[in-house]
Structure 1
Amino acid sequence: MSRIVVPVVLLGLLAGCALIPPQRLGGIAVEVPPEEYGRRLCEHLEIEVYATCVSQVIDNLDRPRPEVPSPGRSTSGPVVAVVDGEVFSGDYRSTLFTGELNLTSPKTRCRGGYSAFSGDPAAIYEFHCEDGRSGWADLVRDLSGRNGIGRLAFSDGAAGQLVFGHAPLGSAEPYPYLP
């Protein structure tokens, strides 16, 4: 009897991880093709430079890297968001139960995070900006667990997409894909 119960319980737990919470991009991790990183990072550029930008992003993803990230880099790194043509760059840091997000554009700086300890049922980052806006960001990891994509929205209705992690961005400072 106990031999049957253990696998059933494990399957139940794994199936629960695959559920997509309401208003979320996806489950714990999704497959993100290299072209998707390129599209999100380059879509704000003029068509003449778009293809070059996407090629650079894909080349950066194809660069060989050590399999094991250095301490502190597996759940933290650069993030870039493009919101109505405005480019934000910054960093994120996450643990199992908390996360921080810092974004800066030429016009404003935004900071926020989430905490399961304060009752956040989902890892939706809430942030506030120096220009008075607030908003949220939903990040989902790719299958490597170290990089990913997301979306964000501001209180004034502006919305955009983001990319995070060392593989798609390398070092996001200075961000090379400005309009």
Structure 2
Amino acid sequence: MFSRFSLLLLLSLSVLSFALVLGGCAAAPPGQRGPLVQSITPDEYGERLCRHLDLEEYSACLSEVLEYFETHQSNTLADGRNSTSGPIALILERQVYLGQYAISPLAARFRVTRGQQWCEGSYNAMTGSADAIHRVVCSDGRRGQAELTSDLDGRNGIGELILDDGTRADLVFGYRALGIPDAIKK
């Protein structure tokens, strides 16, 4: 029979082994520039949400984002569910596009709009996508690729869109990062 100490040691080693396996799975696949999952700080969210602003507005924006993170940390909807979809923001050419994302274990998609302009992206491992890079198309005809990095909870994160003309844009997604609309909170 195992002693209590032996069982705890065995359980600890099992958890450590599982964490190492998961850590290896979180490494970037071939063709991807960054990790799929990493710890993301409030400063990183703020940098992406605010860097398109002028210097005077940047510090106020960053302060607001950091204050938000001190008071709002929910990933859970009012009925107690954890979400696999939510808000997403794209900051493209100093303009903020807002929309929704949806994820499942093997696929993801997003769509953002600003007035009549839009961009949407998706990947689907079941249809041959060998990586987690979103193929993106925008209403102005430009195409590109977006790479998203999830925070450790898997429902919030950051990313970058690179369009075929070399234009780069920032992405931020998730309820913790962007908030839960009042209509959903009720």
Superposed displacement of residue 35, structure 1? 1.0
TM-score, structure 1 normalization: 0.80
2:168 to 156, 159, 170: 159
* Aligned amino acid, residue 124 of structure 1: I
Identity %: 37
Aligned mates of 1:148, 1:83 — CA distance in 2: 17
Name the structure 2 match of 1:79.
Answer: 88
Q: Which amino acid aligns with 1:128?
A: V
Contact kept in structure 2, 1:127 and 1:136, CA below 8 Å: yes
* 1:130 is aligned to 2:133: no
- Give the 3 Å change call, closer, same or farther, for CA 30–104 of structure 1 in structure 2: same
Instruction: Return the alpha-carbon distance in structure 1 between the equivalents of residues 93 and 102 of structure 2.
Output: 25
* Cα distance change of structure 1 residues 28 and 72 upon mapping to structure 2, 3 Å threshold: farther
The question of whether the paired residues in 2 share the 8 Å contact of 1:81 and 1:87 is answered with yes
Q: Assess if the C-alpha contact under 8 Å between 1:83 and 1:159 holds in 2.
A: yes
Tell me the C-alpha RMSD between the 2 structures. Answer: 2.7
Among residues 32, 40, 51, which one is paired with 1:24 in the alignment?
32
1:120 maps onto 2:120 in alignment: no
Question: Amino acid of the residue matched to residue 35 of structure 2?
Answer: G
| Bigger Cα Rg | 2
Select between 18-27 and 150-159 the one with higher mean Cα deviation. Answer: 18-27
Structure-1 residue corresponding to 2:65: 57
Where does residue 145 of structure 1 map in the other structure?
154
Task: Report deviation, 1:141.
Answer: 0.7
Which residue does 1:91 correspond to in 2? 100
| Deviation digits for residues 54-101 of structure 1 (CA, Å, limit 9, x no counterpart) | 111112222245564457752211111212312222111110111111
TM-score by length of 2: 0.77
Q: Is the 8 A contact 1:57 1:169 kept in 2?
A: no
Of the structure 1 ranges 25-34 and 70-79, higher mean CA displacement relative to structure 2 is found in 70-79
Secondary structure of 1:153's counterpart equals strand
> Structure 1: how far apart are the matches of 2:81 and 2:143?
28
User: Closer, same or farther in 2 for the Cα pair 1:15/1:165, shift >3 Å?
Assistant: closer
